[in-house]
Structure 1
Amino acid sequence: MGGFALPEALLQPRFQRAVAQKSVKVHPPAPFLPRGTYSPKYIVYQHFCHRATVFFSRFRAPALSYAFDIIECFKIFFVFTGQISQNRLTSRISTVILCSESPFTGGPKMKRRILALLLVFAMFAALMTGCASGKQETAANGTAQTKQTAPEQTAESAAEETEAAEETAEPAEEKAAEPETLAFTDSLEREVELPKDITRIAPSGAVATMILAAIAPECMVTVNATPSESQMAFLPANLASLPETGQMYGSKANLNLETLLAADPQVVIDLGDKKGDMTEDLNALQDQIGIPVIFIEADLAHMAEAFRMLGSLLSGKADRGQELADLVDRTTTMAAENSAKITDDMRVRAMYTTGEDGLGTNAAGSIQAHVLDMVGVENAVVVEDVSNKGGGNVISLEQLYTFDPDVILFADGSIYDTVTDDSAWSQLTAISTGKYYEVPGSPYSWLSGPPSMNMILGVWWLGNLIYPKIYDYDMAEMTQEFYKTLWSYELSNDEVTALLENSTLKAAQ
């Protein structure tokens, strides 16, 4: 039967980088290497690949491509002998073989898995047989060499001493070439060993995607979801072509481990607010994929520190991290100073609502409505069981009439355009007085969805909208400044008008 070419997975950059070490001479040429000089690890790597190719040239089965994934796990062990623990190797293999039992993703059917395992174990046995035969050949060559003449033995001894000297010097050089690491303590007090030079990162979900796209888009190797065409008008161009991995948390949790591993990140970064006992979840994921996973708390109260921390971790991003942290500090300081000026008789009651019927409210105490609290607005919606999820707490029309807010903030895509034609809404104070507005939503909602660094801009927008005499500045100019700082995008005057026409510009009329 015809042979199978080794897949690209066997030649990923992670493994190619490992073979550029001090050379060792190979003579006579091995069946899997031409005459030349090579690293010992590279020889082992090529030996393994050769044995795998010979073995699989005898089979044709649907499980072969899956078996190659498992082979990659073995290959990691051989290429990085001495640099990877048995536990990590085991976790790599279990991720591929047992992924159907993972809490984060699904996997192949049992029959296919069993067939792949049988093929791999047979291949592994063939590899060991090849190694044993290599030892026998070495012993036979040694017997033959004892029959050489004295001059030949002298020359051979000199050559062997030269090679021994090269091999003795090599471990020190290889050790110096090993990537440096550092011990990092994340926001959950987990100590995680990270590469010192981090240039390839993967976000755990939507919040992490947004924050990492602001500080280091060129370092990202995945996104949680490909941004829409309207979002991409403002975001870094490379995000559109990155593979999607889904997200680790939330109602739509669907983290794709296969895509995540194929992207070859150095670290997976989870950002946002703390969600119960995350330590166990992150440890389980880290053990499963064999890649460091860290959590950095990044709600508004911790956003500045999160940017500084990311700036210190990511290669060459210290200045960018500080720039973004300064913007957050400037925002929170401004909001604290201005909200302190608002007296009880000045305070405005507002409702922030979402959904096609406008009844999905972000109630008082919800992280989705945190901007209202920061600028001194009273959240008119008070419920017992507050939801922090997108869409918030769904209320009835009877509750809506009871709350009857002074101002209603409609999320982008809600019923803002049609609300005046709806008799159920038109009797409300905010609608009848014209004090209802649409929250700008490009590239992300300025108030939440997800609750992340986009809320920084929302603080400036909402304060100026509700209390323009206290939050006194030109919101159009602030919008242009923030888009340039956050997303490196130069907003035109027409784009600013489109963003503010249903809120700031409407209120100014």
Structure 2
Amino acid sequence: MTAEGSKAKNRSRLFLIVPAICILSVMISIGRQVHGREITDMAGRTVTIGQVKKVWPAYPPVAFLVYAVDPSLLVGWTTPLSPEAKKYIREPQQKLPVVGGWFGQRTPNMENLIAIKPDVALVWDQTLAVTPNMLEMLNKLNIPVLAVRIFFLSDYPEAFRFVGNVLDRSKRANELGGYIEQTIKEMKAFSSRIPNEKKISVYYAVGADGLTSDCDHIPFLDDVINLAGGRNVYKCQPSDRMVGKKIDQERLILYDPDVIVTQDELFFSNVYTSSRYRLLKAVRNRKVYMIPKTPFNWLNYPPSFMRALGVRWLAYTLYPTLYPGNIRKETRQFFKLFLGVDIGDDEANKILLLKKG
């Protein structure tokens, strides 16, 4: 065979091989889409999912988590956004429908859920046992369900990385998880320098009368109080793990906390003028504080990644002369990193509920 003929034969083979490779690649791609990939969720369940472009979170804390990782993948909210929250939420996500979820006495709007056709539903792992019909209903709709664990603040780094893997946003998720890990490390070092006998006592006031509180072993609030160097005065039985308990006025006077924190605006508006609170040390010293809640609550209900900023706020609030950070600067950095929002010092003061200066 001549050299020219050999070259022609090789070209013919090349023309056959290239299309074959392309066809094989397409088949592999289709196979992946059909069969999906197996994910072991944070409850230890193995679930097969396809490509994820639309995510429905069944609980507020999970919705906030998804929003921080990639707002564009979120298909709906569990509860309506407050006007104040909307100022810090991207415009497309302000217009998302309220689908609801399984929490309190609520169930989701199934018509909305069917209409948006999410590729995956993310649920709070602790609810799997107490809401068995949730899995049944979502399975009937062919919506894969993955559980996320976000109980303690220390759960969040792993939770962010898990969700980042599911959503193919690992770089972003690692950045957010790394921030929270660093925060926990710094706050552990800070609180460890405060002797137990000198730790400031804290009471979390719930309700218009302030006479309901969360137990010292309920993790949403308590692990943040501990990390901030405080001490929760309200002690409960282990059986009360997830229940806010009512106390009487005498018990609150007996506790006589150094600081009171609340997210109830009615209680806060009356605490310095009502005679029922005047004997309390925190009231006499004007150390009753509203917990920031922009755009989501910073300490307790509903819990969110904002606790990573809330623990810094609480440490600054309890120990303004000992706290080593700059709370305004940290607030600006946090809003930029987690929410993609630039704020100045004046706005940070407003969010922190601080006066200028």
The TM tier, using the shorter chain, reads 0.7 to 0.9
Change beyond 3 A, Cα 1:248–1:356: same
- 1:228 aligns with one of 71, 74, 82: 82
Is 2:308 the counterpart of 1:456? Answer: yes
Alignment pair present for 1:214 and 2:68 = yes
For the residue of structure 1 that corresponds to 2:84, the secondary structure is helix
Deviations 1:296-340 (A, max 9, x none): 11231211011111111113x121101111111011111111111
In structure 2, which of residues 235, 246, 256 is the aligned counterpart of residue 404 of structure 1? 256
CA distance in 2, matches of 1:239, 1:226: 11
In structure 2, do the counterparts of structure 1 residues 501 and 297 end up closer, same or farther at CA, with 3 Å as the change threshold?
A: closer
Note the alpha carbon deviations across 1:469-491, whole angstroms, 9 max, x for none: 44311111111111111111111
Structure 1 regions of 5+ residues with no counterpart?
1-169
Q: 1:314 to 1:423 in 2, by over 3 A?
A: same
Letter in 2 for 1:223: W
Q: Distance in 1 between matches of 2:312 and 2:306?
A: 11
Q: Is the Cα contact below 8 Å between 1:425 and 1:431 reproduced in 2?
A: yes
CA distance in 2, matches of 1:334, 1:172: 48
| Alpha-carbon offset, residue 176 of structure 1 | 5.0
Q: CA deviation at 1:279?
A: 8.6
Matches within 5 A, 1:6-155: none
Report the 3-state secondary structure (helix = DSSP H, G, I; strand = E; otherwise coil) of the residue aligned with 1:421: coil
One of 162, 183, 186 as aligned partner of 1:309: 162
Q: Which amino acid aligns with 1:183?
A: E
Q: Is the 8 A contact 1:226 1:240 kept in 2?
A: no
Provide the alpha-carbon RMSD of the alignment. Answer: 2.4
Counterparts of 1:419 and 1:172, CA distance in 2: 68
Residue 262 of structure 1 pairs with residue 115 of structure 2: yes
2:154/2:181 contact within 8 Å kept = no
Counterpart residue type for residue 37 of structure 2: L
Contact 2:62 2:148 in 1 (8 A): no
**1:438 has 2:290 as partner:** yes
- Contact in 2 for aligned 1:307/1:321 (Cα 8 Å): yes
Matches within 5 A, 1:337-356: 337-356=189-208
CA distance in 2, matches of 1:397, 1:479: 36
**3-state SS of paired residue (1:351):** strand
Give yes or no for the alignment of 1:375 onto 2:228: yes
Counterpart check, 1:243 vs 2:97: yes
Distance in 2 separating the partners of 1:257 and 1:305? 30
SS in 1 for 2:47: strand
Answer whether contact 2:121 2:144 (CA < 8 A) is retained.
yes
Contact 1:188-1:279 within 8 A present in 2 as well: no
Which whole-Å CA distance do the structure 1 matches of 2:25 and 2:345 have between them? 61
After superposition, give the CA deviation of every residue in 1:29-57 in whole Å (9 maximum; x if it has no partner): xxxxxxxxxxxxxxxxxxxxxxxxxxxxx
Alpha-carbon displacement from aligned partner over 1:4-30 (angstroms, at most 9, x marks no partner):
xxxxxxxxxxxxxxxxxxxxxxxxxxx
> Residue in 2 aligned with 1:204?
58
Matched residue, 2:15 = none
Alpha-carbon spacing, 1:377–1:175, altered in 2? closer, same or farther (3 Å): closer
Instruction: Pick from 286, 289, 298 the counterpart of residue 150 of structure 2.
Output: 298
State the identity as a percent.
Answer: 25
Give how far 1:261 is off. 1.5
CA distance in 2, matches of 1:252, 1:259: 18
Taking the aligned partners of 1:278 and 1:488, their CA distance within structure 2 comes to: 35
Higher relative contact order (CA 8 A, sep 6+): 2
Report the Cα distance in structure 2 between the residues aligned to 1:383 and 1:411, rounded to whole angstroms: 21
Structure 1 residue 185 corresponds to structure 2 residue 37: no
Matched, 1:473 2:325: yes
Relative distance call for 1:276 and 1:377 in structure 2 (3 A) is farther
Distance in 2, Cα, partners of 1:263 & 1:220: 10
Residue of structure 2 in register with 1:127 after alignment = none
Partner of 1:12: none
**Residue by residue, what CA displacement relative to the aligned partner does 1:263-301 show, whole Å, maximum 9, x if unpaired?**
011000114x62472694554233222110110112312
Does the 8 Å contact 1:362/1:381 carry over to 2?
yes
Residue 324 (str. 1) matches residue 179 (str. 2): no
Cα deviation, 1:447-478, whole Å, max 9, x if unaligned, reads 11211211111111111221234431111111
TM-score (norm 2): 0.85
Q: Work out the CA distance in 1 between the residues paired with 2:170 and 2:276.
A: 53
CA distance in 1 between counterparts of 2:183 and 2:255 reads 30
Q: Please say if 1:491 is aligned against 2:343.
A: yes
Amino acid at match of 2:60: A
**d(CA) in 1 for partners of 2:92 and 2:116?**
14
C-alpha distance after superposition, 1:76-113 (max 9, x if no partner): xxxxxxxxxxxxxxxxxxxxxxxxxxxxxxxxxxxxxx
> 2:129 aligns to what?
277
5+ unaligned residues in a row in structure 2: which ranges? 1-22
Aligned residues: 330
- 1:202 maps to a residue whose letter is W
Aligned to 2:141: 289
